[in-house]
Structure 1
Amino acid sequence: MRTTVIATLLATAVTLSLVAGAQVKEGTHKEGHLDYDHQSAWKGTLDHAQSPIDIVTTDAQKAVPNEPLALQLQHLTGAQVDKVEDNGHAVQVDSHTTEADIRGRHFTLNQFHFHAESEHTLDGKHFPLEGHFVFKAQDGRLAVIGVMYREGAANPAVQVLLDDLAAAGGKLPQPQIDIAALLPHKLGYYHYLGSLTTPPLTENVEWYVLPEPVSMSKTQIDAFLSHYRHNNRQIQPLNGRPLIRYEG
């Protein structure tokens, strides 16, 4: 009897292992890796409020005149960088000192990362890169500020990140960064309610996409592209969700 039980347990373990292997192959992610060529196999909670979207500027509703406080960011200069890494599907920076009051509510920056090409589009136009600055409220609510990057003058804050990334897990040569240099001067935005753009694709995420692009040099863009040339999720339908334009 004991031999039979052991054999059954072994057979079950092998079966589960095969199933798990198949899921990783189909879907998509193992130790942070995502297969962007087979996004239809991603596992997650898929409803009717997914991200990213194409922002059709003429369809956006103008924000009400008393839009509450909009985006108010603090502790941008000298922000502490805890880690810069290639996490398997993006270049990610962990930083927790920057705070934000977003439409009257308090959030703290958790991390920011980069997608190539941009995940959101403006009137169908992609940018070379899009940065996602992920903020979290005390109650767990997420708000993401999306920033577009274009080719132009070199960006010293971007170079800090690239130098830290080159340290490959060692001591960061520059453990502080000027996050303001990664953001446009004008914090006007397009706002809608969407989702995470990677599994589990959780919805009820507040999005604030800044249309004014920030420049970085071709060399700096190429440095990001050397890690990922295609880590952008496909455009998702808006499905009647309100899209708000705040001029800033």
Structure 2
Amino acid sequence: MSAVFVLNLLVLYFITEMSIGISKIENLDRQTQLKYLQQNLISKIENLDSLKELDTLNLENNCIKEICNLKACSQLNTLNLAKNQLKSAEDINVNIKLKSVLDLSNNSLENPNILDILKQMPNLKVLYLFGNKVCGEIKNYRKTIISSIATLTHLDDRPVFEEERRTCNAWAQGGLEAERGERERISQEKKQKEERNFQAFKELVRQARQHKKDPVGPATGATFFDDATHQFDDEMKSMEEISETASSDF
């Protein structure tokens, strides 16, 4: 048997083993204070019982088919399982004591019933689901996810601001008509806030003018008036910017 043939066999064996995941998560028994763990070339989550202080587990781009063996990781804040082989709700249906961030992007999830599992995570703030077929299977995907997970502050590529949450919740409760009504309420609230600010600064200017007529000292009244005027001009510019933003939003 030639050396070249043996070498080719070894290369083929190595590539084959890599494709199915030759590594294991192991030898961590003494790493009890470990906060961050990243592992490659694995097909299973295992041997993490000693990592009670683990904050971030990065298992992106592996061959993992189910979420399991994480109960001991009670301080887990971020779990990255992007680019794995998760397919169904059963694959992620596990009691995860996750505090904040879950990345399931670019897997093979396609059934909308995964939402029932995600809703059971009471502290979930950041969720990545893009790159899964399920994003196209859930009708009105973004509105549905946001209205279903009350704690969510970031979904896929965009943050979830309070105004969007309000409109999504209204849509979930009463459809498009309720959503339009909520948008109108938000618009009115902005206008009312602008009006309150405007009236407050008008009163400030009035007081400044009064001080100018009857100043405490020669320079005090003028200085007070000038400062108030500058504040008024700045506030008017700010309100114009807010109005432009509100117009673009609605």
TM-score range, shorter chain: under 0.3
Greater relative contact order (CA < 8 Å, ≥ 6 in sequence): 1
TM-score (norm 2): 0.24
1 or 2, which has the higher helix percentage? Answer: 2
| Higher Cα Rg, which structure | 2
1 or 2, which has the higher strand percentage? Answer: 1
TM-score (norm 1): 0.24
